[in-house]
């Protein structure tokens, strides 16, 4: 890792120096105000100390050539842990140890960036974007990654327009999603099971997906509900089933589940609603797995509401860690002014986000979660796009 420190008036002054010395892939790790010059402590001027880094590319050296460090760089070294984040032992080959060290270095860089990226050190042109990401509750780690990349891309362009900033930020968010968004596993499920806490909109979401499968894909769809804790939920799903003219079964035990699946065996696919109360749905998932020995025949979708705080969403996901979740479905986007949680979930978890529901209308108000759509939700629409 190559490091270099600059003493400048502001970040904008440092950007062309960083690009010249370290290249466009460099990252700003830290900024802080320092006192320089003066005479025996008097008449000192306040300046900004900017530290940047770039991953060092290995150079091939002759056997007789000694290794030397460049004067302006410093090597970051950390003790190699026993296991990397991917589970690879660092007692293996030198390449494996180097990979583990690099993973830890990159984690350290992100921590530095998260702590040091403060609004008063940002170029004026990026402050509105920073405020927008804050208002959308995008995590500091993601903010730092977006802003630091943009700072190096922008360089000294004081006359850049707000529309250009918006387009650049959108491109960067799409790139970030592309790096982190997991693709759904290739499955041909016989049954899709929807889990999640009470009140997130599972029943309405199931009706939207059922209508889509029926009307757009021409599949024979059946419904099962085990949400017998809430009579209203059962009646709601029965109403949707009647409108769509598809069969529905209500179950409250493993025996009932066997009976219901036999009743619906003529269907191409079955959608199953589950109770949100106290996360009891695991019982039914265990029963489903016992009935369908081929795990590829079951798809588990966790449904979360975007009106929830991101910290609460994380706790819900943690509560379901014993279940192999295949996809995340996010609801109530139309009921919140903050959509940053979509980006946070993609960045921090390995569960694909596939659909975003943005209203109560069946079957219309459900959208495929594309990178472009998510970027628009986070940044807001722009007439110049």
Helix axes 340-348, 310-319, angle to 10 degrees: 40
Residue whose C-alpha is closest to residue 279's, from 195, 194, 201:
195
Per-residue pLDDT of the chain (385 residues; tens, 9 = 90+): 678 888 888 777 787 788 888 887 777 777 777 777 655 555 567 788 888 887 766 554 444 444 444 434 333 333 333 333 333 334 455 555 555 555 555 555 555 554 555 555 677 888 899 999 999 999 998 998 888 888 877 765 657 888 989 999 999 999 999 988 888 877 788 899 898 888 888 888 999 999 999 988 889 999 998 765 566 767 888 888 888 899 999 887 777 888 888 999 999 999 988 876 555 556 666 766 666 666 778 898 999 999 999 999 998 888 777 777 899 999 999 999 999 999 999 999 888 999 999 988 887 889 999 999 999 999 987 544 4
Distance CA 225, CA 235 (A): 10
Spatial separation of the C-alpha atoms in residues 104 and 107, rounded to whole Å: 5
pLDDT of residue 173: 94
Sheet holding 27-36, edge to edge: 2-8, 45-54, 27-36
> Domain-by-domain residue ranges, the chain?
191-379
Query: Per residue in 129-143, is it b (16+ CB within 10 Å) or e — as a string?
Result: bbebbeebbbbebbb
Is the omega angle on the peptide bond into residue 214 within 30 degrees of 0, that is, cis? no
How many CA atoms lie within 13 Å of 173's alpha carbon, on the beta-carbon side?
Answer: 25
Q: Is 222 helix (H, G, I), strand (E, B) or coil?
A: strand
CA 237 to chain centroid, in Å, comes to: 31
* Domain covering 191-379 assigned CATH 2.60.40.10 in the classification: no
d(C-alpha 136, C-alpha 376), whole Å: 12
């Amino acid at each position: 890792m190559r490091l270099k420190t600059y003493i400048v008036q502001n970040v904008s002054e440092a950007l062309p120096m960083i690009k010249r010395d370290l290249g466009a892939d460099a990252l700003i790790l830290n900024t802080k105000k320092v006192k320089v010059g003066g005479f025996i402590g008097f008449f000192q001027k306040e300046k900004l100390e900017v530290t940047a880094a770039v991953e060092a590319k290995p150079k091939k050296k002759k056997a007789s050539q000694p290794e030397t460090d460049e004067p302006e760089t410093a090597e970051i070294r950390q003790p190699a842990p026993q296991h990397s984040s991917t589970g690879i032992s660092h007692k293996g080959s030198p390449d494996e140890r180097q990979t583990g060290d690099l993973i830890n270095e990159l984690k350290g860089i992100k921590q530095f960036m998260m702590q040091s990226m403060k609004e008063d050190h940002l170029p004026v042109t990026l402050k509105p974007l920073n405020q927008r990401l804050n208002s959308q509750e995008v995590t500091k780690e993601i903010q730092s990654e977006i802003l630091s990349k943009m700072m190096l891309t922008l360089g000294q362009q004081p006359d850049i327009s707000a529309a250009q900033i918006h387009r650049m930020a959108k491109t960067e968010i799409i790139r970030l999603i592309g790096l982190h968004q997991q693709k759904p596993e290739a499955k041909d499920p016989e049954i899709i099971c929807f889990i999640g806490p009470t009140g997130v909109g599972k029943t309405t979401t199931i009706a939207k997906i059922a209508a889509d499968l029926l009307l757009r894909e021409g599949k024979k769809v059946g419904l099962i509900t085990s949400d017998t804790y809430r009579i209203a939920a059962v009646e709601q799903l029965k109403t949707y089933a009647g409108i769509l003219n598809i069969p529905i079964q209500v179950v409250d035990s493993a025996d009932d589940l066997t009976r219901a699946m036999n009743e619906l065996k003529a269907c191409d696919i079955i959608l199953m609603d589950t109770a949100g109360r106290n996360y009891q749905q695991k019982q039914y998932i265990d029963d489903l797995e016992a009935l369908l020995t081929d795990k590829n025949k079951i798809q588990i979708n966790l449904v979360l509401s975007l009106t929830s705080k991101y910290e609460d969403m994380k706790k819900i996901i943690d509560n379901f860690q014993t279940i192999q979740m295949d996809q995340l479905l996010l609801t109530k986007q139309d009921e919140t002014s903050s959509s940053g949680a979509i980006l946070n979930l993609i960045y921090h978890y390995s569960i694909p986000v596939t659909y975003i529901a943005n209203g109560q209308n069946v079957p219309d108000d459900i959208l495929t979660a594309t990178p472009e759509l998510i970027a628009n939700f986070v940044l807001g629409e722009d007439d110049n796009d």
